[in-house]
Structure 1
Amino acid sequence: MFRWFEKLLHPYPEAEPGLPPKGFLPFVWACTLGLRGYIATLALLSAAISVYEAWLFALLGHIVDWLGAVRPERLWDDQGPVLYGVAGLLLGSTVIVALQTLVKHQTIAINFPLRLRWNFHRLMLGQSMAFFSDEFAGRVTTKVLQTALAVREMVFTTTEVIIGIGVYFATIIALAGGFDTRLIIPFAAWFAAYGLSVWFFVPRLGRIGKAQADARAMMTGRITDAYTNISTVKLFSHTQREAKFARAAMSEFQDTGYQQMRLVSAFEITNHLLVMGLILATSGYAIHLWTLGEVGVGAVAAVTAMALRINGMSHWIMWEMASLFENMGTVQDGIATLARPRQVVDQPGAAALAVPRGEVRFEQVDFAYGGKRPVIQDFSLTVRPGEKIGLIGRSGAGKSTLVNLLLRFHDIESGRILIDGQDIAGVTQDSLRSHIGMVTQDTSLLHRSVRDNILYGRPGAGDEAMLHAAQRAQAHEFILQLTDLHGRKGYDAHVGERGVKLSGGQRQRIAIARVMLKDAPILLLDEATSALDSEVEAAIQASLDELMQGKTVIAIAHRLSTIAAMDRLVVMDQGRIVEEGDHRSLLARGGLYARLWSHQSGGFLGEESDEDAALASA
């Protein structure tokens, strides 16, 4: 039975999620897509349970009246059928309660937030590189997890408190009026006063909840950032600095917590005063009417029991309403991240890229990060199929930016980038990047096994192809010696976050093996051997030479000597091509390339990212 209800709602829909709306209510409504029928069922069952619970108190009053009007020995003869009917209704209520809890806890409670997290995570994976450069990874993770849970809690609170309790109070007032219409007065007065207190306190709690959610995300982001970059923290002896940096975020969270608890305490005191007033008013007024002979003892018992029940429920409602507005704040805070439009998107009907030859052509390309100082200006370059070119230039010349534009990590302002005559803006991003292999200077590995990291290049490849790629990258021997804390060895050993358990050279060789396995027709090398010692570099360079055969290659090198043998060298300065040719002709020209060559020490040229240089100069 449990399994049947658990399978009613699929938590991992295949359809790609659309960008959610930015408005609060439209966002929540979009989140309920696919389970609105279950939410409506939950609301109806909660309302039915509320009517049933309220009816029990009226039944208590009638039973008291029955007991007072009949001799004990005649009870079952006079009221037996009614009492048996009541017993049947009490037992029958188990069916409603069972259905309500099965729908709530088996169908919705786990599947709903998982469904949202699955969709939110896919939305975030589709965001551009610029998005992640502006956000803490831990902050984004927190928003994905917190927002999904907050939406679920809002749905539960709405169905159980706003709908269920609304029906409950309406039923109680109607049943109290059934004894005497004047008994409605204290309940109506309390309901109005309680509504005013909720109107005053709960929105304020909601605003504090939003601020607290943001402070919590910032706190999580700063702590995660320190853990992610722990080697840098320790290298510069900044553990105390990072502790203080996190403490500042914790202090902001602390301030919002204190403000929240002050409101909660004031709400609690106000609520208690109102409930005590309700109990005194209802029981006192009912006793007064009883002394006048206008109501029976059952009415006194029923309305007093109703007031006592409200006493317990009002505290629960207070916390649920406060939680509702806190969750509303969390959702509003999450919307700013989760509903942010993607900067780089596939065009409607975008086709898959086909690369039969491997020609790359830049036509009058202009680009600037965030509309600031231009990084690439009127750039035109054709890389012939199978040609190997080297990009050379000072820091901030635009080399890395050019590679990022080819990968379509950013969209250009004007011009076109073509691969075999196809504008990359009109093809799918996945198909574009599937035809490009890249080895970067800053190699990042996933916190998974070595096998998983290499197979990331071509997941469908078998172990034989993976082993061959590792051997070509001179990685096989050291991989066999690896082990981790869980006793996994060799290709099954996990490499740690970003590959922290490996040396720089080991990470680079695994990354090269991954690209070798991918075997894409276009190859990008951004100082692919920078982390290797001279002996291993020579072996890797031989493997790279083999890998480059028949491929279109664009290489960026800080050691100019490593790309001097390329078919053509393209020298860039301030986003433009200033020189082209082979190594000998450029040296003979005595221009920028010749000056860079002569100024190098050990054949190495210092480098920083083009984006950093552009922003620093802006």
Structure 2
Amino acid sequence: MFSWFERRIDPYPSDAPGTPPRNLIGFLLHFSRGAMPWLLLMALGSGLIAVIEVALFGWLGELIDQLADTPRQSFWQMHGTRLTFMMLVLVVLLPLLNLLSSMVLHQSLMGNLPQRIRWQAHRYLLRQSVGYFQDEFAGRIAQRLMQTALAVREVAMKVLDVGTYVLIYFIGALALAASQDWRLALPFALWALGYGVMLWQIVPRLGRVAEAQADARSAMTGQVVDSYTNIATVKLFSHSAREEAWMRSGMDGFLQTVYRQMRLSSLQDVILNLLNVWLVASVAGVGLWLWTQGRVEVGALAVAVPLALRLNNMAHWIMWEFAGLFENIGTVRDGISSLALPREVLDVPGAKPLQRGPGAVDFDHVTFRYRGVEGARPMAVLDDLTLHIAPGEKVGLVGRSGAGKSTLINLLLRFHDIEQGRITIDGQDVSQVTQDSLRAAIGVVTQDSSLLHRSVRENITYGRPDADEDDVARALRMAEADGFVPELSDSYGRRGLDAHVGERGVKLSGGQRQRIAIARVALKDAPILVLDEATSALDSEVEAAIQSRLEVLMRGKTVIAIAHRLSTIAAMDRLIVMDQGRIIEQGSHAELLAQGGLYARLWARQSGGFLLADEDADTDIVEQP
């Protein structure tokens, strides 16, 4: 029975995730769509339970009147059938409804609905542009994902479950009291009016505080994650005290929202107690007065007073449920600001996979600007750039920081869309093919090749998931990583390829991380290879040992290499010298030296093979990621 209800909602739908609406109702409906039939069934169950519970109060009043008016010896003969029916409702129907509601609530919805939301939102976020993640704390995004999933579930369930139960219960109670005497319903109506005014005045404020609190909580979590992720930097600069002060400001911002929330909670608690005391006293007083006037029977008191006491007990629960509802609405609104942002880079309708060819790359009059501060004029990073790279050609990109080298690579990978011009691979416009197929055709080794917190094997086979052990072994040998990988181990006793490397590969040295990254790209075997400072983390001895292997890796591929250490790319077929988003020189190493231009000056100013800043360099220009 449990399993049957647990399988009613698919927590991992395969439908392609769409952009969530940015309005609250649309956002809630978007993520509740697959569970809506079961949410409505839960609401129906809650409504029926409320009807039965109110009806039982009415039956209790009738029973008391019948006990007073019916001779004992004929009581069962006169009322036995009705008593039996009510008993069946009480001991059979009501438990069955509670069982159904519990199964739907706990087995179908409580676990599956938030998991379904997390899955859909996570799949959508994975397809966000690189810029989206560069503009925000990773921990903050993760926190919003997790808390928004729970908040959507709580809003949907409180509205449809608690809201339905409370609404039907109160309407039924009001109707039941009025059926005895309309004046007996007046205290209930006045109490409801005062209760509604209190909700109207206090609960929305709680919602606004909750939205601020959710934002402060996710920001605080982001700060914690940022400190832990960069713990080596914190230690190197001996800034534990500075981190404590920075974290305290984030924690205090969150704490202030808690204080505001608790002040409103105390205020509502005091007002609610006053309303509840007035309700019980007025119902009892009006009931006794009507009874002494002969307007109602004693059974009316047996209905009205217990109903007032029941509402008294329910009032605190209702208030906290409504406060929780608006708190979760605030959390959802905060989540919308991150989870419902449109994607900046999209596959065009009908985009087809890139057809792999020899690897010709063309930049045709490409202009691109990074988005700047709103209102400021964005500065061109690439300005009308044209470059043709022949299949199998090995090209080195040279230039000072801010020249646009990394931007050129990012646009080839379509991390951003260009403003003007066209980029093609083997004649296929990269903006017209699927992003996954485009990036599958390009192998990249970056200066800071971070690894996933998984095993060495999983990191290497990330380049080709279907690779077998022999393929992995060849990739390790090619990257000169077969010497240290067998010696690796982690705190769980896993060794070699099964050892986990820590967050971003923190358990490995920089050179080890780089060699694992090179092995990963070697296994990928893409026709186009990008080396962005690929050997910068290697010491001279290891770099010399791996240089011949990189030559093997580059064989038969179109290669684009970026390096500040000019000696590592001097042997390329062609060197492209960039400055302020334009190509100013190109040719072989010898040709460029003979020209006596920027490349020759950079080469002359090298010390130990590293590129130094030219005295003419514009230090205000910083390379965008």
Shorter-chain TM-score: which interval? Answer: over 0.9
Residues 226/10 of structure 1: CA separation in 2 closer, same or farther (3 Å cut): same
Match of 2:545 in 1: 539
CA distance in 2, matches of 1:612, 1:478: 40
Q: Which residue of 2 aligns with 1:60?
A: 60
Counterpart Cα distance in 2 of 1:616 and 1:8: 51
Match of 2:609 in 1: 603
Partner of 1:251 in structure 2? 252
Distance 1:593 1:268, change over 3 A: same
Measure the CA separation in 2 of the matches of 1:366 and 1:281. 77
Letter in structure 2 aligned against 1:388? K
Kindly state the Cα deviation for residue 174 of structure 1 after the two structures are TM-superposed: 1.1
Letter in 1 for 2:58: A
Aligned AA (1:151): V
Partner of 1:580: 586
Question: Which residue does 1:162 correspond to in 2?
Answer: 163
Distance 2:258 2:496 in 1: 48
SS of the residue 1:34 aligns to: helix
CA distance in structure 2 between the aligned counterparts of 1:444 and 1:477, rounded to whole angstroms: 20
Q: Is the 8 A contact 1:373 1:614 kept in 2?
A: no
Query: Paired residue for 1:353?
Result: 354
* Correspondence for 1:482 among 488, 493, 496: 488
Output the amino acid matched with 2:241: Q
SS in 2 for 1:35: helix
- The 3-state SS of whatever aligns with 2:371 is helix
- C-alpha distance in 2, partners of 1:200/1:607? 63
Q: Deviations 1:153-211 (Å, cap 9, x if unpaired)?
A: 00111012222110110111111122222211111111111111111111111111111
Q: Offset of 1:28 from its aligned partner?
A: 1.1
The answer to whether the Cα contact below 8 Å between 2:390 and 2:558 also exists between their aligned partners in 1 is yes
Q: Which residue of 2 aligns with 1:589?
A: 595
Deviates further, 54-63 or 414-423: 54-63
SS in 1 for 2:583: strand
**Residue pair 1:42, 1:159 contacting (<8 A) in 2 also:** yes
Matched residue, 1:308: 309
Correspondence for 1:214? 215
2:278 — aligned with what?
277
Q: Distance in 1 between matches of 2:142 and 2:227?
A: 15
Matched to 1:456, the amino acid is Y
CA drift at 1:311: 0.6
Greater alpha carbon shift after TM alignment, 132-141 vs 62-71: 62-71
Q: Distance in 1 between matches of 2:179 and 2:259?
A: 46
1:20 lines up with 2:13 in the alignment? no
Are the aligned partners of 1:365 and 1:416 in contact in 2 as well (CA < 8 Å)?
Answer: yes
Q: Does 1:402 align with 2:408?
A: yes
In structure 1, the residue matched to 2:375 is none
- Structure 1 residue 607 displacement after superposition: 8.4
**Aligned counterpart, 2:47:** 47
The structure-2 alpha-carbon separation of the partners of 1:490 and 1:613, relative to structure 1 and needing over 3 Å to count, comes to farther
Q: Distance in 1 between matches of 2:337 and 2:295?
A: 60
Q: CA RMSD in A?
A: 1.6
Cα distance between partner residues in 2 of 1:534 and 1:257: 55
In structure 2, the residue corresponding to 1:442 is in which secondary structure? coil
Counterpart in 1 of 2:176? 175
Deviations 1:431-463 (A, max 9, x none): 000000010011100000000000000011112
Q: What is aligned with 2:11? A: 11
Query: Helix, strand or coil for the counterpart of 2:11?
Result: coil
How far has the Cα of 1:611 moved from its partner?
14
Tell me what 1:193 maps to.
194
Cα deviation, 1:351-396, whole Å, max 9, x if unaligned, reads 1111211000000111111151111111101000000010001111
Cα distance between partner residues in 1 of 2:546 and 2:369: 35
Give the Å deviation of 1:243.
Answer: 1.3
- Give 1:301's aligned amino acid: A
* CA-to-aligned-CA distance 1:582-611 (integer Å, 9 cap, x gap): 111111111111100010101112589x99
Q: Specify the alignment match of 1:421 in structure 2.
A: 427
Q: TM-score, normalised by structure 1?
A: 0.98
What residue is the counterpart of 1:267 in the other structure? Answer: 268
Whether contact under 8 Å (2:576, 2:583) holds in the other structure is: yes
What SS does structure 2 have at the residue aligned with 1:477? coil
Question: Percent same amino acid among aligned pairs?
Answer: 55
More displaced, 361-370 or 171-180? 171-180
| Distance across 1 between alignment mates of 2:613 and 2:370 | 18
Distance 1:591 1:103 in 2: 75
Which amino acid is the alignment partner of residue 108 of structure 1?
Answer: L
Q: Distance in 1 between matches of 2:441 and 2:7?
A: 39
**Counterpart-to-counterpart distance in 2, 1:89 and 1:450:** 63
For the 8 Å contact 1:202–1:322, the answer to whether it is kept is: yes
Partner residue in 2 for 1:299:
300
Secondary structure of the structure 2 residue equivalent to 1:285: helix
* CA distance 1:474–1:612, shift in 2 (3 Å): farther
Cα 1:438–1:580, aligned 2, differ >3 Å: closer, same or farther?
same
Q: Which amino acid aligns with 2:240?
A: T
Amino acid at match of 1:365: V
Q: Give secondary structure in 1 for the equivalent of 2:162.
A: helix
Deviation at 1:547, TM superposition (A): 0.7
TM-superposition CA deviations, 1:255-305 (whole Å, max 9, x none): 111111100110011011001101011111111111122211111111100
Preserved CA contact (<8 Å) 2:401 2:621: no
Equivalent residue number for residue 110 of structure 2? 109
| Cα pair 2:402 2:622 within 8 Å, conserved | no
Cα-to-partner distance string for 1:67-108 (whole Å, 9 max, x where unaligned): 222344443333222222211111221111111111111111
How is 1:411-450 mapped onto 2 (pairs within 5 angstroms)? 411-450=417-456
* 4+ aligned runs moved over 4 Å, structure 1: 610-617
1:318 counterpart letter in structure 2: M
Q: Which moved more, 1:177-186 or 1:336-345?
A: 177-186
1:240 matched to 2:246? The reply is no
- 1:322, 1:291 → 2: CA distance? 41
Q: Counterpart in 2 of 1:506? A: 512
Deviation at 1:333, TM superposition (A): 0.8
Q: Is the 8 A contact 2:28 2:156 kept in 1?
A: no
Mapped to 2, the partners of 1:272 and 1:66 lie a distance apart of: 35
Stretches of structure 1 lacking an aligned partner (at least 5 in a row) = none
Q: Distance in 2 between matches of 1:71 and 1:244?
A: 80
Gaps of 5+ in 2: 373-377
* Partners of 1:463 and 1:108 in 2: CA distance: 42
1:48-85 deviation line (CA, Å, top 9, x unaligned):
11111111211221122122223444433332222222
- How big is each residue's C-alpha offset from its partner over 1:460-496, in whole Å with a ceiling of 9 and x where there is no partner? 1112111110111111120100010011111000000
Q: Which moved more, 1:599-608 or 1:4-13?
A: 599-608
CA distance in 1, matches of 2:623, 2:443: 30
- Give the Cα separation in 1 of the matches to 2:177 and 2:619: 72
Q: Is the 8 A contact 2:453 2:501 kept in 1?
A: yes
CA contact (8 A) 1:369 1:611 kept: no
- 1:603 and 1:164 mapped to 2: Cα distance? 75
Q: Is the Cα–Cα contact under 8 Å of residues 362 and 425 in structure 2 kept in the other structure?
A: yes
Picking from 562, 571, 575, the partner of 2:568 is: 562
The match for 2:38 is 38
Deviates more, 1:502-511 or 1:239-248: 239-248
Partner Cα distance (1:176, 1:56) in 2: 13
Q: Distance in 1 between matches of 2:493 and 2:96?
A: 51
